[in-house]
Amino acid sequence: MSEQDPFLWLEEVTADDAMAWVRERNAASVAELTGGARFEELKSEIRAVFDADDRIPYVRRRGEYLYNFWQDAANPRGVWRRTTLEQYRLAEPDWQVILDVDALGEREGESWVWQGAAVLRPDYRLALVNLSRGGADATVIREFDLETREFVTDGFELPEAKNWMRWISADLVYVGTDFGPGSLTSSGYPRVVKQWRRGTPFDEAEVVFEGKPEDVSVYATHDPTAGFERDFVGRNIDFYRTERFQRRGTEFARIDVPDDSETDVEREWLLITLRSPWTLGTTTYPAGALLATRFDDFLAGGREMTVLFEPDAHTSLTYHSWTRDHLIINTLHDVQSQLFVLTPGPDGWQRSELPGVPAGELSGITDTDPEVSNEYLMNSSGYTEPATLRRGDLTGEPEILKQAPGLFDTTGLRVRQLFATSADGTKIPYYVVGRSDPSSRPTLLSGYGGFEVSLTPSYLGHVGRAWLARGGTYVVANLRGGGEYGPEWHSSAVKANRHLVYEDFAAVAQDLIDQGITTPARLGIQGGSNGGLLMGVMLTRYPQLFGAIVCQVPLLDMRRYHELLAGASWMAEYGDPREPEEWAYIKPFSPYHNVSADAQYPPVLFATSTRDDRVHPAHARKMVARMLEQGHDVRYYENIEGGHGAAADNEQLAFKWAMVFEFLWRTLT
């Protein structure tokens, strides 16, 4: 198909003709959707949510300080700052600004966007700061001194690439970057791990590990925990399979667990989370189980396992978090959270419920300090319940540290969990948030359905103000392909079974209509990334169910997705279009290849970003070009900055969402 593709020229991201096309399309969409009174109200209300001074400043502990990255109207690109726990308990803590990203960008003439920092344990003085231009995945890495609050002169530094750097010691780091020809995988990520010593030329960094060109990426880490210092390297074979080793100088000891499992080594323990069944001797452990064994014994050949969690038809493991002496596990039971504490001891592992978890809300651990304490931070919220941040140490009920204010009027709103029946009889849960009266209302349905990502209840202030408070109904579908019911909920809908994701979403849409919650003309849908592909499939397969579609940073050309940016890393999810038997099941859900001039489609808004270096903007560009050529009702907006999130700061984010909601209100009412 690609040889006959008339819109390949739109894949040249910043070519003059491609950017001229983008600006022309942007101008048309901006002229249509912005400037009116409702758009300005939407933008102002959404911006106020993102910039609110009284929202919770979430923190991560690094030694004696709690660190926070904060963006508001005065600091659109944000400040990295810190305070103490005693100060954080106050209504207005005394924050010490470590790095002002706006001031840095102005000083250096760059559109810097914060992408996080790795702080060296246990002294917590040096950091490796990641900055991107315009919000791209590619970053610049620079060493920073947290005490002087300055970048380190002649410190560790990497130019822009899809980099990573990990501390080994104050004078030694692991590096993955573009070292030149042959050093990247087919997915565009580092293939080679090097060890770089301070004060030595970068080109003299020592190769310590290599992956294969067809791998997704490689990694290396150092665990500095006193008494348990270890180094690990590995190759990510595909999106779900990893080969892992403990590095001992020039020797590598294979951690012989299933490639598709996830592992965690903490002090003496090795935890293994299974994605598929694993048979050891006469025992088969199910997919979704969490197993524990002693790390050194396992490497020596021991295979004695303790089952810490085993899933059932309604309950799955979401993640686990270590404290100094305990393990906290977070589970989902029909997409509602349950948290437990597991404690190893001489009589085995003891289990109890985590105290202070509020009923009816989704709760999760946001931070722990496993090196020195049993402190944990837990955030709880719901679709209509603003967030509450609690701190506990497993000696009693946790204390409330911060509570976010309500950002929209919830009077008359109720939250319901319903179940639709998919084409094969599977029950698909979904949440409905809206007025309790029985009348049909404009409804916004969102979904994702991929990569084992779970969509769980959370307080979305911008959705509340722009949609719910204005009388709309909001719906979230928990499709197969996600992780809501564990790894098999995901693996049942990959590659040749991908159609199940789309049948699930269509079933939820039809159920909303059948129950009188809405009508096709008043049902809008929205999704991004893999959810953008979902929107494209709904457009081309089920257009009769919808009145409007918002398709954001999407995959759409599934014939060429593996050749565009990071696309090759997702073939374990979608399949390999180069293989005829796999293209045979990919083609039916490739929106770019199924859009037709003869079909009747609802109005569509596509949105993406020039600086998205994960999902290529050409997916959206080419789809819009083809639909315009065919005479369909389509509009397009491409933010010049923003990366995969399609916005580099709160102003851009508010503008983007105001366009989305203006489009939906115009189309569905």
Is residue 446 within 8 Å of residue 525, measured between CB atoms? yes
Note the pLDDT of residue 640.
79
- β-pair partners for 635: 605
Please provide the average confidence, as pLDDT, over all residues in the chain. Answer: 95
Residue 468: left if φ>0, alpha if ψ -120 to 50, beta else—which one? alpha
Is residue 349 within 8 Å of residue 332, measured between CB atoms? no
**Alpha-carbon span 197 to 156, nearest angstrom:** 9
Beta carbons within 10 angstroms of residue 14's beta carbon: 10
**Alpha-carbon span 127 to 145, nearest angstrom:** 6
Note the pLDDT of residue 222.
98
What is the token pair recorded at 78?
A: 């944000």
Rounded mean pLDDT, 513-542: 97
Beta carbons within 10 angstroms of residue 334's beta carbon: 15
Note the pLDDT of residue 648.
64
**Alpha-carbon span 200 to 205, nearest angstrom:** 8
At 641, the pLDDT band (50, 70, 90 cuts) reads low
Note the pLDDT of residue 156.
98
- β-pair partners for 209: 193
Q: What are phi and psi of 628, to 5 degrees?
A: -65, -40
Residue 335: left if φ>0, alpha if ψ -120 to 50, beta else—which one? left
H or E element that contains 332: strand 327-333
Looking up tokens 């293989």, which residue turns up?
A: 579
Is residue 134 within 8 Å of residue 640, measured between CB atoms? yes
CA nearest 400: which of 363, 374, 372, 370? Answer: 363
What is the token pair recorded at 247?
A: 């590095």
CA nearest 386: which of 481, 466, 461? Answer: 461
At 566, the pLDDT band (50, 70, 90 cuts) reads confident
The amino acid that residue 315 corresponds to is: T
CA nearest 535: which of 515, 570, 506? Answer: 506
CA nearest 72: which of 44, 51, 103? Answer: 51
CA nearest 285: which of 247, 258, 322, 250? Answer: 258
CA nearest 286: which of 296, 268, 274, 298? Answer: 274
What is the token pair recorded at 105?
A: 């960008």
Q: In the chain, what's the furthest Cα-to-Cα distance?
A: 72
Say whether pLDDT at 572 is over 80. yes
Rounded mean pLDDT, 618-630: 98
Rounded mean pLDDT, 202-208: 96
Q: Is 437 exposed, middle or buried (0-12, 13-18, 19+ CB in 10 A)?
A: exposed
Torsion of CA 486, 489, 490, 493, to 10 degrees: 170
Torsion of CA 402, 403, 405, 411, to 10 degrees: 180
Note the pLDDT of residue 341.
98
Looking up tokens 């509020």, which residue turns up?
A: 358
SS3 for 111-151, per residue? CEEEEEEEECCCCCCEEEEEEEECCCCCEEEEEEECCCCEE
The amino acid that residue 105 corresponds to is: G
At 2, the pLDDT band (50, 70, 90 cuts) reads very low
Q: Is 279 helix (H, G, I), strand (E, B) or coil?
A: strand
Torsion of CA 192, 195, 199, 201, to 10 degrees: -30
Q: Which residues are catalytic?
A: 529, 644
Note the pLDDT of residue 645.
62
Is residue 308 within 8 Å of residue 342, measured between CB atoms? yes
Looking up tokens 């307080």, which residue turns up?
A: 459
Long-range contacts of 580-588 (CB under 8 A, 24+ apart): 582/495, 582/496, 583/559, 585/495, 585/496, 585/498, 585/499, 586/498, 586/558, 586/559, 587/558, 587/559, 588/499
**Alpha-carbon span 497 to 495, nearest angstrom:** 5
Q: Is 398 helix (H, G, I), strand (E, B) or coil?
A: coil
What is the token pair recorded at 455?
A: 């969509």
Say whether pLDDT at 3 is over 60. no
Q: What are phi and psi of 447, to 5 degrees?
A: -165, 170
Rounded mean pLDDT, 436-446: 89
Residues 101-127 have pLDDT tens digits of 999 999 999 999 999 999 999 999 999
Residues 276-311 have pLDDT tens digits of 999 999 999 999 999 999 999 999 999 999 999 999
Say whether pLDDT at 1 is over 50. no
The contacts of residue 51 (CB under 8 Å, 6+ apart) are 71, 72, 73, 650
Rounded mean pLDDT, 622-636: 98
Looking up tokens 């596990």, which residue turns up?
A: 329
* Lowest pLDDT segment from 132-136, 249-253, 401-405, 648-652: 648-652
CA nearest 575: which of 561, 593, 564? Answer: 561
Q: How many residues does the chain have?
A: 669
CA nearest 296: which of 322, 270, 323? Answer: 270
Residues 346-388 have pLDDT tens digits of 999 999 999 999 988 999 999 999 999 999 999 999 999 999 9
Residues 456-478 have pLDDT tens digits of 999 999 999 999 999 999 999 99
Say whether pLDDT at 319 is over 90. yes
Residues 22-57 have pLDDT tens digits of 999 999 999 999 989 999 999 999 999 999 999 999
